[in-house]
């Protein structure tokens, strides 16, 4: 088995960087930046500036680089829109997509959280008054969206086999990236979703296709009601818009 890792250059100053099988964050001897290297199955999958709590002044710049390097934004017509406190929003003719940088689940490691919104979704609010009701307008529940596209019934999805169903979709997408890299893995996963489903995925959130949205909204309601009943939960089901 060949354990020799390929030679790589620093993404900041282009100086050569020596890799090993023990470290995934390496300081460049030339520019002194910390560089994150992701090696999986003997291949270098990514080499980018390390997003570190020790350098908060660089959060925005580095995170934007991760987003742009992992997703084909231009291909799908996404233009850079507002810069938020903890991330960025991009907008296309189909929908809006929000990339948030979070420490909530894996502190001190960062993770990327991705939301999709219809074009009426406000930048900094999760809810919107729609048809006289308070509704959720930013959506991270692709575990519902993909089965909807694939024709899985909402009741079947809400059953105990939900994880198995979702994993089968992920396996089919062939995301050859370690899930424990919480910053890049969601970006890689969504890149595969965009590649595989394309307009079928974005059209769900398209304001120009209200009938499709109504079907998806009803699907979401049935799924959530079924989960609520199965787990004997008392919380109200949130409407989406």
Q: What is the pTM of this model?
A: 0.85
Per residue in 184-198, pLDDT (tens digit) is 999 999 999 999 999
Per residue in 27-68, pLDDT (tens digit) is 888 888 888 888 777 677 777 788 777 666 677 888 998 899
Domain ranges of the chain: 1-50, 53-231
Q: How many CB atoms lie within 10 A of CB 224?
A: 21
In angstroms, how far is CA 110 from the centroid of its own chain?
A: 13
Name the nearest CA neighbour of 35 among 46, 45, 24, 49. Answer: 49
SS3 38: strand
Per residue in 81-115, pLDDT (tens digit) is 767 777 899 999 999 999 999 888 888 778 999 99
**Rounded Cα–Cα distance for residues 26 and 3 (Å):** 19
């Amino acid at each position: 088995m060949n354990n020799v890792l390929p030679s790589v250059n620093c993404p900041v100053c282009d100086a050569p960087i020596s890799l090993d099988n023990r470290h995934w964050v390496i300081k460049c001897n030339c520019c002194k930046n910390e560089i994150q290297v992701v090696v999986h199955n003997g291949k270098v999958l990514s080499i980018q500036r390390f997003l570190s709590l020790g350098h908060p002044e660089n959060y925005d710049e580095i995170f934007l680089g991760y987003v742009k390097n992992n997703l084909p934004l231009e291909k799908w017509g996404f233009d850079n829109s507002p810069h938020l406190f903890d991330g960025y929003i991009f907008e296309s003719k189909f929908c809006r997509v929000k990339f948030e940088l979070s420490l909530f689940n894996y502190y001190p490691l960062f993770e990327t959280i991705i939301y999709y919104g219809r074009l009426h979704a406000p930048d900094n609010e999760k809810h919107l008054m729609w048809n006289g009701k308070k509704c959720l307008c930013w959506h991270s529940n692709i575990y519902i969206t993909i089965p909807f596209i694939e024709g899985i019934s909402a009741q079947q999805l809400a059953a105990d086999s939900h994880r198995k169903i979702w994993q089968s979709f992920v396996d089919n997408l062939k995301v050859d990236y370690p899930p424990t890299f919480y910053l890049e893995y969601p970006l890689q996963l969504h890149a595969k979703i965009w590649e595989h489903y394309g307009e079928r995925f974005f059209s769900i959130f398209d304001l120009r296709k209200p009938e499709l949205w109504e079907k998806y909204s009803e699907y979401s309601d049935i799924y959530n009601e079924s989960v609520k009943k199965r787990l004997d939960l008392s919380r109200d089901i949130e409407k989406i818009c």
